[in-house]
Structure 1
Amino acid sequence: MRLFSSKGRQLVGVDVSATCVKMVDIKRIQGVFHLQSYGIERLAPGVVVDKLVADTEAVGEVVARLARRCHVTGQNVASAVSGSAVITKIIDMEASLTDSERDAQIRLDADQYIPYPLSEVNLDFEVIGPSQINDRMVQVLLAASRSENVEQRVDALAFGGMTTKVMDIESHAIERAFALMVDSLPNHPELVALVDIGHTQTTLYVAKNGEFVYSREQLFGGAQLTEAIQNRYGLSYEEATINKREQTLPDDYYNELLMPFMDNVIQQITRSLQFYFSSSQYNNVDHIVLCGGSAVIPGLVGMVQQKLGNPTSIANPFINMSIAPQIDSEQLLLDAPSLMVACGLALRSFD
């Protein structure tokens, strides 16, 4: 299973997260990206734990249902492992080497870069540009993940009738999706903070001229709001999740739970940005973009803009795509911020 390679085949993007499976099918029609279909289906608690697939059959059943619902025509998919499950390293190698020679050399020197036996990892590499130290060398991005991380996802997708052709890294997929929308941000910002508010983790990515130059993860996410709803109103996880999403909670919810959660989000963003500023030449960003499931909380984007003083918007990687007529465009606007990974994976068809 290669982490990068996919040459000339149509791939469906499938993102298996802690709470749901997301599927995106993108075609290219006359040079324009076209969103053919997409779907999101929730997973039961405990099916995916700490980014590891605990129940491959349960994930497979959801994948199969989504594939039927989205009417996907192919079975080939691109999926991803979490960045925390991947070791990446940039190394310099002779430019004259062929891919097979490069592969042999990396495997020979693997113990310098990877703290596990080669038999226990999936390994891949990609030439990313000229070396900064020698004209006759190139920079090579080396990526390795424990085989169990990759195989669990491959097995789950196989249960769903899909064949995994590419296993990517979540952050790379997000960067690919972000590149689609960065030119649509007002005033062409040079430095953009992309804040991914996930279920249990919030990640700050800083992009300079569209390319990620920094990332920082924090253990904080939408799960904390769900748990607060469960505790306050005596609801099950499922009930709390549905009520949160459909905004059908008692009148005191906004002041007692939602406002403190949004304040906490802003504190997390502020802290992550301060870490970035302390390690770079910058002391401000030009624009903030929110993505992830919690990005669409009503009022959050305005509150971030007001408290931090930066223009702020919600991610939509489909903004410059044509959209299939059966897709509900209003629902897509709500779902788009949580589809960054799945969208970026679907774009692997066009590498």
Structure 2
Amino acid sequence: MLFRRSAKPLLGLDITTSSVKLIELSKSGETYRVEAFAAEATPLNAVNEKAIVDAQVVGEAVRRAVKRSGARSRDAAVAISGDAAITKIIQLPASFSESELEGQVALQADQYIPFPMEEVSYDFEVVGPTEHDPDMLDVLLVATRTENVEQRQAAVEAAGLKAVIVDVEAFTVENACQLLRHQMPEEGMGHNIAVMDFGASSTTFSVLRDLRVTYTRDFAFGGQQLTEEIMRTYGLTLEEAGRAKKEGGLPSNYEPEILEPFIDDMTQQVSRSLQFFLASGTNREQPEQILICGGCANIPGVADVIGSRVGIPTQVGNPLGMMKISSRARSQGVMKDATALLTACGLALRSFD
């Protein structure tokens, strides 16, 4: 399902521990337009570290989001986390027909997948000729445990939708980064750009060169930690803490005692990710720009703090920055959530493959 082509609009559906975000895009020429959007809180404990624990409950949240958004499409694209997927470039003869490629991939997949093949879903796509051998093709093999796919299919079907594409978050982020080109020097061509997508419970750090991901790393850190600290300090429920974090109205000690230490933690995570990247291979060069996305990117002034401390120009990434917005999506507050829509947008872009 990963590399399947879509003939009609898809709902980009990003399911996380804290929320279900849904977006529907249309395209006219080179311009995208947000037709529909909604975000719905994920019921407590229904998603645990990107694994869907209760597909029925998640499906109900998706159903509510679909209804509020007014989206017309009933086909969806969803993603599994990068750490749940195995990716491998294999080389095969360029002379092979499509059916021969399929057969050879099936034979070779067993070598690279550390699970019994009957428990695995996999797909492949031809990347192009092998760099130093034009008689061979680079073929991308992607695999995951079938249960990871089935969890998402079950949640989508419980909402009355159909999961047409199951993608991998790392590919989704790469796809979505074309929507950040307007913020990059020379639209990202010839430059190393880092994208830090802060989620609720996990964060993805990616480095792009010519808009292609050359490095990616997922790690446990996210806005939920700030919400839980607010909850503990002020004796609020998780829901009340989440609302207070977004809407304000917390006591005067909130910024110096809770928010500023959290921004310090965010900066440390960026710094550590840059160190891991530079140590991950030879000839690694420091990124020339950092774009931060996710709910945490909305903290006032956070990009300036990170940029000054790590010494790299830093901006808040906005994938909707060059899009038109329908009045229906605007009324659902899509612009408030723009920084957190990288994955959902990357999935919705699969409509235009």
TM over 0.5, shorter chain:
yes
Aligned-partner Cα distance in 2 for 1:245–1:126: 41
2:343 counterpart of 1:341: yes
Q: How has the CA–CA distance of structure 1 residues 183 and 104 changed in structure 2, closer, same or farther, with 3 Å as cutoff?
A: same
Aligned to 1:305: 307
Aligned-partner Cα distance in 1 for 2:310–2:333: 28
Deviation at 1:281, TM superposition (A): 2.3
**Residue type at the aligned position of 1:185:** M
Aligned-partner Cα distance in 2 for 1:252–1:162: 45
Q: How has the CA–CA distance of structure 1 residues 301 and 317 changed in structure 2, closer, same or farther, with 3 Å as cutoff?
A: same
Aligned to 2:92: 93
Matches within 5 A, 1:145-164: 145-164=144-163
Aligned-partner Cα distance in 2 for 1:163–1:125: 22
2:108 counterpart of 1:109: yes
Deviation at 1:329, TM superposition (A): 8.3
Which of the numbers 286, 289, 297 marks the counterpart of 1:287? 289
Aligned to 1:257: 258
Aligned-partner Cα distance in 2 for 1:227–1:66: 25
Contact in 2 for aligned 1:6/1:165 (Cα 8 Å): no
Q: How many residues align?
A: 350
Aligned-partner Cα distance in 1 for 2:199–2:73: 29
Q: Structure 1 vs Structure 2: percent identity of aligned residues?
A: 39
TM-score, with normalisation over the residues of structure 1?
0.95
2:28 counterpart of 1:29: yes
Aligned-partner Cα distance in 2 for 1:239–1:160: 27
Deviation at 1:187, TM superposition (A): 5.6
Aligned to 1:70: 69
Matches within 5 A, 1:132-143: 132-143=131-142
**Residue type at the aligned position of 2:248:** Q
Matches within 5 A, 1:190-201: 190-201=191-202
1:312-343 per-position Cα deviation (integer Å, ceiling 9, x unaligned): 11111122222213333894333111111110
1:60-115 per-position Cα deviation (integer Å, ceiling 9, x unaligned): 11111111111121211111111111111110111222332222212122220101
Contact in 2 for aligned 1:316/1:333 (Cα 8 Å): no
1:27-52 per-position Cα deviation (integer Å, ceiling 9, x unaligned): 11244221111111111220001211
Deviation at 1:200, TM superposition (A): 1.9
Aligned-partner Cα distance in 2 for 1:66–1:97: 45
Please provide the CA RMSD for this pair: 1.7
Matches within 5 A, 1:54-65: 54-65=53-64
2:78 counterpart of 1:79: yes
Q: Which segment is superposed worse, 306-315 or 79-88?
A: 306-315
Q: Which segment is superposed worse, 228-237 or 54-63?
A: 228-237
Aligned to 2:248: 247
TM-score, with normalisation over the residues of structure 2?
0.94
Q: Which segment is superposed worse, 248-257 or 183-192?
A: 183-192
Aligned to 1:323: 325
Contact in 2 for aligned 1:83/1:171 (Cα 8 Å): yes
Structure 2 residue matching 1:194: 3-state secondary structure: strand
Structure 2 residue matching 1:10: 3-state secondary structure: coil
**Residue type at the aligned position of 1:270:** S
In structure 2, stretches of 5+ residues that fail to align are none
Aligned-partner Cα distance in 1 for 2:58–2:133: 47
Aligned-partner Cα distance in 1 for 2:252–2:288: 36
Deviation at 1:125, TM superposition (A): 0.4
Aligned-partner Cα distance in 2 for 1:251–1:297: 16
Aligned to 1:222: 223
**Residue type at the aligned position of 2:309:** K
Aligned to 1:51: 50
1:167-199 per-position Cα deviation (integer Å, ceiling 9, x unaligned): 001111111111122243356551111011112
Contact in 1 for aligned 2:82/2:218 (Cα 8 Å): no
**Residue type at the aligned position of 1:256:** E
Structure 2 residue matching 1:328: 3-state secondary structure: helix
Matches within 5 A, 1:177-188: 177-186=176-185, 188=187
In structure 1, stretches of 5+ residues that fail to align are none
Contact in 2 for aligned 1:78/1:345 (Cα 8 Å): yes
Aligned-partner Cα distance in 2 for 1:280–1:237: 44
